[in-house]
Amino acid sequence: MMRKTDFAFWTFLMMTGLAGVTTLVSVTQTHSSASPNSDLYRQLDLFGDVLERVRSDYVEKPDDTQLIENAINGMLTALDPHSAYLSPKHFRDMQVQTRGEFGGLGIEVTMENGVVKVVSPIDDTPASKAGLLANDLITHLDNEQIVGLTLEQAVEKMRGPINTPIILTIVRKGVEEPFEVKLVRDNIRINAVKARREGDVAYVKVSTFNEKTHENTVKAIASLSKEIGADLKGYIIDLRNNPGGLLDQAIAVSDDFLERGAIVLTKGRNNEETQRSQARAGDVTDGKKIVVLINGGSASASEIVAGALQDHKRATIIGTRSFGKGSVQTIIPLNANGAIRLTTARYYTPSNRSIQAKGIDPDVVVEQELPEEMKAKAAQTKVRGESSLRGHLKNDKEQEDKSGSSAYVPKEPEKDTQLQYALNLLRGKIAAAPAATTAPETSEPEKKAN
């Protein structure tokens, strides 16, 4: 069974059931110069020659399994930053993570220039409590260099039994010397949705899209609606620093606020692979005003939600440009040999905008105000988006801009410039933003992605 995700980062790879069965067909074919695949067979012969030479002549006896796994992973990682081979252990780890609970540090990471880059720490985890920041570079784990490791290998080293320590060596822009941070691994529970009352406004923070995101979002909205009652002015859906997650959950959350129309389009290599997800009648907010907050750390599934609500003019998008990851990964199990994570499609907003390497531009750009001690190091809060990743898929519809933007969000709500702007907008203290110029494609309202 193939399973689709839209993860930007290894730490949030999970599975969904949005694809059909994959059948591997073995075809016997005669090698000849006339064969259209003759060049491929010659290259496979070359690979076999190199493999045998390494096995017979390398200075130390290599591990055959490791050789093949590395070769497969090299082939996949050369395609784009999000395709990779998952060994049986990594595949099991991914399945464990699907449940939203594991032993680790609580950081979303990616790989950049051979070192691990922090995308954002997860709230209330060892990483956030230790003060790690978005864009911090991790160069050593327990004094061992990361250079030479894949992202998956580095993540595996950072995970481990609860209550075991690990020392990270951090390079931070604006800080002259690398410094060490000691963390103790904890049981990381991905609490995807947190909600609170902001006076007469309901605030819902969605930190990732896991199996419980849609369910918990609906519960949070129902609870706050009841608590605030008739005084409710509207809802703030905070997707800042949300790295993505499950595609079906992004569709379900978008559907929560829409009565009809397209939510997202996914387009593969061939036209027949195009899928359109449709909203069904029913808005959990009963038509109340919605503001969605995004920034440079908003990626993938969060961009699907922001793009859908923006195209349908259902919400006002406030903040700064999002990360720009507009590709879908499919997890393809390989029996007992792990799985591959393969980029199989691009996704598009209802108005047929490609998010890939471009991101979502907010309706109202509101830069986050930085505290005085951070203004001199403003560059450390800038997330380099998808367009800056080596080997990223190109945007197939228009010229790319540099995606990504500031990812700093202050912990104190009163100092959160973007949040305060959203509150004032919902309370009528600021004029509403002009209507978006894009409009979604018309379509039948009751069809669902298959």
**pLDDT tier at 91 (50, 70, 90 boundaries)?**
confident
Question: For residue 438, is pLDDT > 80?
Answer: no
Question: For residue 422, is pLDDT > 50?
Answer: yes
Question: For residue 25, is pLDDT > 60?
Answer: no
Which CATH code for domain 193-331+344-426?
Answer: 3.90.226.10
**Beta-ladder partners of 5:** 329
Calculate the CA dihedral of residues 433, 438, 444, 449 and round it to 10 degrees.
-90
Question: For residue 370, is pLDDT > 80?
Answer: no
Query: In sequence order, what E strands does 176-326 have?
Result: 179-184, 186-189, 193-198, 201-206, 234-238, 262-267, 275-278, 289-294, 316-319
Residue of higher predicted confidence among 329 and 97: 329
Residue pLDDT, tens place only, 251-297: 999 999 999 999 999 999 998 888 999 999 999 999 999 999 999 99
Residues 6+ apart with CB under 8 A from 349: 264, 265, 304, 307, 308, 310, 311, 355, 360, 438, 440
Question: What DSSP letter does each residue of 44-70 carry, written as one string?
Answer: HHHHHHHHHHHHHHSSS---HHHHHHH
**Beta-ladder partners of 238:** 205, 293
Residue pLDDT, tens place only, 195-242: 999 999 999 999 988 888 999 999 999 999 999 999 999 999 999 999
325 is catalytic: yes
Question: For residue 250, is pLDDT > 70?
Answer: yes
Question: For residue 328, is pLDDT > 80?
Answer: yes
CATH 3.90.226.10, the chain: domain bounds? 193-331+344-426
Residue pLDDT, tens place only, 114-148: 889 998 888 789 999 999 998 899 999 999 999 88
pLDDT average, residue stretch 340-358: 93
State what percent of residues in the chain have pLDDT above 70: 82
CB 369 within 8 A of CB 284: no
pLDDT average, residue stretch 102-110: 88
Average pLDDT, whole number, for the chain? 84
Question: For residue 401, is pLDDT > 70?
Answer: no
CATH 2.30.42.10, the chain: domain bounds? 102-189
CB 133 within 8 A of CB 168: no
Residues 6+ apart with CB under 8 A from 247: 4, 5, 6, 16, 18, 264, 301, 304, 328
Q: Which of 300, 302, 322, 403 is catalytic?
A: 300
Q: What separation in angstroms does the CA of 228 have from each of 194, 220, 223, 373? A: 16, 12, 9, 37
Position 350 scores a pLDDT of 97
Position 280 scores a pLDDT of 96
**pLDDT tier at 303 (50, 70, 90 boundaries)?**
very high
Residue pLDDT, tens place only, 28-75: 333 444 456 778 888 899 999 999 999 999 999 999 999 999 999 999
Position 407 scores a pLDDT of 85
Position 372 scores a pLDDT of 73
pLDDT average, residue stretch 145-161: 89
**pLDDT tier at 112 (50, 70, 90 boundaries)?**
confident
Question: For residue 105, is pLDDT > 50?
Answer: yes
**pLDDT tier at 94 (50, 70, 90 boundaries)?**
confident
Q: Which of 6, 136, 186, 311 is catalytic?
A: 311
HSE-CB at 67 with a 13 A cutoff on CA atoms is 15
Residue pLDDT, tens place only, 162-200: 999 999 999 998 899 999 999 999 988 777 899 999 999
**pLDDT tier at 7 (50, 70, 90 boundaries)?**
very low
**Beta-ladder partners of 206:** 193
Cα(347)–Cα(217) distance, rounded to whole angstroms?
A: 23
State what percent of residues in the chain have pLDDT above 90: 58
Q: Which of 325, 327, 354, 406 is catalytic?
A: 325
Position 103 scores a pLDDT of 86
Question: For residue 1, is pLDDT > 60?
Answer: no
Tell the CATH topology of 102-189: Pdz3 Domain (2.30.42)
Cα(207)–Cα(405) distance, rounded to whole angstroms?
A: 18
Question: For residue 398, is pLDDT > 70?
Answer: no
Tell me if the pTM is above 0.85.
no
